[in-house]
Structure 1
Amino acid sequence: MFKQLKNIDTVARLQRLFNIVLMLVTAVVLCFGIYKSYDFADKAQNKVHILYNGKVLAAFTSDRKTNLPVELRDHIKTFHEDFFTLAPDDGQIDTSIRKALYLSDNSAKRVYDNLKEANYFNNLISGNINQQITVDSIRLDMNAYPWAFTCFATEKLIRATSTVTRRLVTTGKVSDLKTETDRNPHGFLIQAWEILENNDIPQSK
């Protein structure tokens, strides 16, 4: 009789152990299922479908922080191209400068006013000079906000008979407006902008 009771007690302990193990396994499976469902939902939110040439293509969005240096460089590059790429046409100059001023604060407006007062733009028109700029590199400091930058570019003044090449270096800071518009698609604002260097590059003979 005692032996039978002992067997029953052993079976009961095994049954409890089995139940505990089963509950632990169920909890692990449940937690894994919840984790995977959240992971799937997150990926689904970051996935968009684009119709291109009659084909549906999958594309993934990314966190802005990942692309922040790229967006900042593009904003700075666009500003400089709009400000310095000018044709000998007052309408084009006004349009291009206006586009640049939407990307910056009054520091760029002051530079524009100084150039205008010095008849810089009138001289471009009267001399039939095309001004072109190529942004060579942009140095960013991401360690402090607003983010400081230095832009290195090559500027060309193209006349009918000659071309003058200049080295252009500017500096400034960029702040985040946290609002994107058609005229400012990145939502950044260039501040404290100034031209450090704009000198002719001697032509090699």
Structure 2
Amino acid sequence: MFNQLRNIDSAFGHIKRFSLFFLLCCFGVSGFTLWKAFEMVRYAQQRVYVLVNGKAVEVFAGEKKDNLMVELRDHIKMFHYWFFTLDPDEKVIQGNIAKALNLADESGRKAYDNLKEQGFYNNLISANISLSLQVDSVQLDINSYPYVFRCFATQKLVRSSSTVFRKLVTRGLVRSVSRSDNNPHGFLIERWETVENGDNTLVGR
């Protein structure tokens, strides 16, 4: 009888240990499953699809600091592109200038007002001149804040009789602001000024 009791006690102990081991395994598997599920959700949230020429392209979301130099350069390039890409059409000029002024402070507005007072935009329209700009390079110093930049670009003025290329050098500061539809990078150009703007070459037509 004592042997039967010992056998029952031993069997109960084995069952108890097995049940505890099985329970720990269940907790382990459940925890691992939850962890992988959260990882997959976080990864999926970082995936963004944008339409480029009618095709869905996968991009990845990240912190601004991860692509600081890239975003700063693109912000500066887009400001100069909108400010200096002009056709002899008042609506085109107003539309492009409005997009540019969303990316800069009052120094951009002041430069626009000065050009307007000098009759620059009226001359473009009356002479049917198209103006475009190619940014060659952007120098950045991100060791101080606001960030200091210098932009080197080439302007192209197309007239009915000739095409003129001008060297353009500007400088200014960039500080961080909130992102918006009008300012997707979340930067603002400050103290913007032209350092050099001279004719490079003249091509007859």
Structure 2: distance between partners of 1:34 and 1:195:
57
TM-score normalised by length of structure 2: 0.73
- Does the 8 Å CA contact 2:85/2:133 hold for their aligned counterparts? yes
User: Deviations 1:21-56 (Å, cap 9, x if unpaired)?
Assistant: xxxxxxxxxx9999877755643443457899xx9x
**Unpaired runs of 5+ in structure 1?**
1-30
Which runs of structure 2 are paired with 1:96-115 in the superposition (5 Å)? 96-115=96-115
Written as runs of structure 1 = structure 2, the 5 A alignment for 1:180-195 is: 180-181=180-181, 183-195=182-194
CA distance in structure 2 between the aligned counterparts of 1:140 and 1:32, rounded to whole angstroms: 45
Match of 1:127 in 2: 127
Cα distance change of structure 1 residues 125 and 47 upon mapping to structure 2, 3 Å threshold = closer
Percent of residue pairs identical: 49
How many residues are treated as equivalent by the alignment?
A: 199
Letter in 2 for 1:112: Y
3-state DSSP of counterpart to 1:186: coil
Partner of 2:176: 176
> In structure 2, what residue type is equivalent to 1:69?
M
Alpha-carbon distance change, 158 to 178 in structure 1, aligned in 2, over 3 angstroms? same
Measured at CA, do residues 49 and 136 of structure 1 come closer, stay the same or move farther in structure 2, by a change above 3 Å?
closer
Q: Following TM superposition, by how much is the alpha carbon of 1:79 offset from its aligned partner in structure 2, in angstroms?
A: 0.8
**Residue 86 of structure 2 contacts residue 131 of structure 2 at CA under 8 Å; is this kept in 1?**
yes
Determine whether 1:88 maps to 2:82.
no
Instruction: Measure the CA separation in 2 of the matches of 1:51 and 1:124.
Output: 35
After superposition, the CA RMSD in angstroms is: 3.9
Q: What are the Cα deviations for residues 42-82 of structure 1, in whole angstroms up to 9, with x where unaligned? A: 43443457899xx9x89462423311211111111111111
Contact 1:47 1:58 in 2 (8 A): no
Does the 8 Å contact 2:50/2:59 carry over to 1? Answer: no
| Cα distance in 1 for residues equivalent to 2:151 and 2:195 | 10
Could you tell me which residue of structure 2 aligns to residue 63 of structure 1? 62
- The gaps in structure 2 that reach 5 residues or longer are 1-30
